Structure 1
């Protein structure tokens, strides 16, 4: 590690072979700089790993579902510039609705949605 033992020599008159007295805090400052570079690299790695760069893109749309230790869920949706957070409760929803089809869970754990026969070609709202 030759580069860590770099010697500084006094400028001007005097003995040119005598190294300059160095400040003991120079090493701490270098460690601080290395720490900053490490932290920035870690943040960039986390953003790319979890694909969080879409949060800063104005045209992107994304949905994140979070579940805490108590089993409470929170759905965070981002649509262009608007971000909404919705807390999901354990109570059942109430109101009127229409049957749109059936969802089946397969043996491998995946789910398949099968629309009702009369709904297959329909795209607009039901009357």
Structure 2
């Protein structure tokens, strides 16, 4: 009779084998490795490996000219996201003239009425 009892409890005689939470720690480690790998894969899928390089400064404009435009600025280790919805100029107005860039780099402004010409460097 004693041998039967030992046979039944012999498989679960260690305290580690009786605790069901010992495998949870291993699952947490696997989940963390998977999430880091997923994050790296996402960065490379968006063709932005320079976001991982601490020596390279990057500026990214998301949705240019739209209402939800954002500017992402990465300088060294810091990343700043600017929400540009308040800063975009808009509204109604009137055309005041045309600006032309010459071959030598000068910019010439021609007003709509054509009376006066200004040069802007």
**Computing the radius of gyration over CA atoms, which structure comes out larger, 1 or 2?**
2
The TM-score, its normalising length taken from structure 2, stands at 0.48
The TM-score, its normalising length taken from structure 1, stands at 0.46
